[in-house]
C-alpha cells in the first residue's frame, strides 16, 4: 500500500454527527449499521436504492451531501457506517495514521455488513437489480469487491485502490483479483495525478474486464488527483472533473437501476 500524501488527510472538522433531520440510523443483528435517507414520495420515480460506501473518514458532511443529492432525485440511500461498532472513526491525524486505518479495516467485515444491508433491502422491496453501489476511495474498492459477490444493478468506483502490496487476513483479495468475476456493470472514475492508484493498475483492471467481457465504463480525468470530488479540500478539488464524473454517475445509476437516462 502506498503511503498517503499529506494533502490527502481527511479534515476532522468535516465529521458528521448524523443529528440532521430526515436521516435514520438502522442497526442490524450481525452488528452492521447504516444511515438511511428516504426520498419524498414521488410517483414518477422508479424505486431504487443506492448503498454508499465512504472513504476512510467515514460518514462526513461530504458523504451526507452526496447522499442527499441522490435522495433529491428519488433514490433511497443507505450509507454504510464502517465504524458503527466502535462509535468513532480511527485516528486520521497524519498520512501514516490514515494508512494504518485503511490497513486495519477488515474487508471481510465490511463486505459482510454490506451483505446484511442487501438482505434488508430485499425485505424493503428492493431486489438486487434495483440496488446500486457507490463508493469513494476505500469505498470504491469495496464497490468493486462487492460487485463480484452480488448481482446488484450496478457499481460505481471513485478512485478506489485496485491492488494490495501484500495480502493479509484483513485484505485477502484485491479488486483486480476479482475483476473477471464481476456480477454487475461497473463505472470507474480515476485522475491521472492519483498517487495511490497507478496507470498500470488501472490498465490491469481494464485488461481483465475486457478479457472476461464484463460490462464497464472507465474514465480518466487529466490533471485530477486522488479524491478530486471532495470540494471541501481546495488543494485537490477539480470542479470540472467532479461535475463530469457526477453527471456520468447519475446517468449510469439511472440507466441500470431505472432503465432510462433522465432524472426519473
61 is catalytic: no
pLDDT for 11 beyond 80: no
The boundaries of the domain holding residue 216 are 6-258
| Cβ proximity of 145 and 111 under 8 Å | yes
Averaged confidence pLDDT in the chain: 90
CB 182 within 8 A of CB 214: yes
* Active-site option among 137, 157, 189, 256: 137
Establish whether 34 is a catalytic residue: no
In a domain, 150, yes or no: yes
- CA 257 to chain centroid, in Å, comes to 16
Catalytic residue among 35, 226, 229, 256: 226
User: Would you say residue 1 lies in a domain?
Assistant: no
**Number of structural domains the chain divides into:** 1
Catalytic residue among 16, 194, 229, 256: 194
Residue 263 lies inside a defined structural domain of this protein: no
Residue 137 within a domain: yes
Give the Cα separation of 50 and 187 in Å (integer).
Answer: 14
Strands 23-27 and 33-37: antiparallel
Give 233-240's long-range contacts (Cβ < 8 A, gap of 24+): 233/7, 233/11, 235/7, 236/7, 236/8, 238/191
In tens, the pLDDT along 49-91 reads 999 999 999 999 999 999 999 999 999 999 999 998 888 889 9
* Annotation marks residue 137 as catalytic: yes
Please report whether residue 98 resides in a domain: yes
Q: Write the CATH number for 200.
A: 3.40.50.1820
174 domain-assigned: yes
Q: Answer yes or no: is 264 within a domain.
A: no
N-to-C CA span, the chain: 40
**Highest mean pLDDT range out of 16-30, 84-98, 180-194?**
180-194
Mean pLDDT calculated for residue range 136-158 = 98
**Percent of the chain at pLDDT above 90?**
82
In a domain? residue 78 = yes
Q: Between 20 and 98, where is the model more confident?
A: 98
Amino acid at each position: 500500500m502506498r503511503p498517503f500524501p499529506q494533502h490527502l488527510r481527511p479534515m476532522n472538522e468535516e465529521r458528521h454527527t448524523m443529528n440532521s433531520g430526515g436521516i435514520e440510523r438502522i442497526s442490524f443483528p450481525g452488528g452492521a449499521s447504516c444511515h438511511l435517507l428516504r426520498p419524498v414520495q414521488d410517483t414518477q420515480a422508479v424505486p431504487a436504492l443506492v448503498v454508499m460506501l465512504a472513504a476512510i473518514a467515514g460518514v462526513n458532511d461530504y458523504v451526507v451531501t452526496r447522499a442527499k443529492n441522490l435522495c433529491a432525485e428519488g433514490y433511497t440511500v443507505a450509507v454504510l457506517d464502517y465504524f458503527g461498532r466502535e462509535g468513532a472513526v480511527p485516528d486520521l491525524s497524519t498520512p501514516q495514521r490514515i494508512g494504518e486505518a485503511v490497513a486495519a479495516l477488515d474487508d471481510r467485515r465490511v463486505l459482510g455488513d454490506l451483505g446484511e444491508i442487501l438482505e434488508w433491502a430485499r425485505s424493503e422491496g428492493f431486489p438486487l437489480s434495483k440496488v446500486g453501489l457507490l463508493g469513494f476511495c476505500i469505498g470504491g474498492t469495496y464497490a468493486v469487491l462487492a460487485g463480484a459477490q452480488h448481482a446488484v444493478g450496478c457499481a460505481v468506483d471513485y478512485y478506489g485502490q485496485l491492488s494490495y502490496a501484500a495480502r493479509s487476513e484483513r485484505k485477502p483479495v484485491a479488486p483486480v483479483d476479482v475483476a473477471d468475476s464481476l456480477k454487475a456493470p461497473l463505472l470507474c472514475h480515476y485522475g491521472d495525478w492519483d498517487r495511490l492508484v497507478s496507470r498500470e493498475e488501472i490498465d490491469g483492471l481494464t485488461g481483465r474486464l475486457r478479457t472476461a467481457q464484463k460490462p464497464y465504463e472507465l474514465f480518466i480525468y487529466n490533471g485530477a488527483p486522488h479524491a478530486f470530488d471532495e470540494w471541501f479540500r481546495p488543494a485537490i478539488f477539480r470542479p470540472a472533473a467532479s461535475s463530469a464524473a457526477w453527471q456520468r454517475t447519475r446517468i449510469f445509476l439511472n440507466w441500470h437501476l431505472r432503465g432510462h437516462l433522465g432524472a426519473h
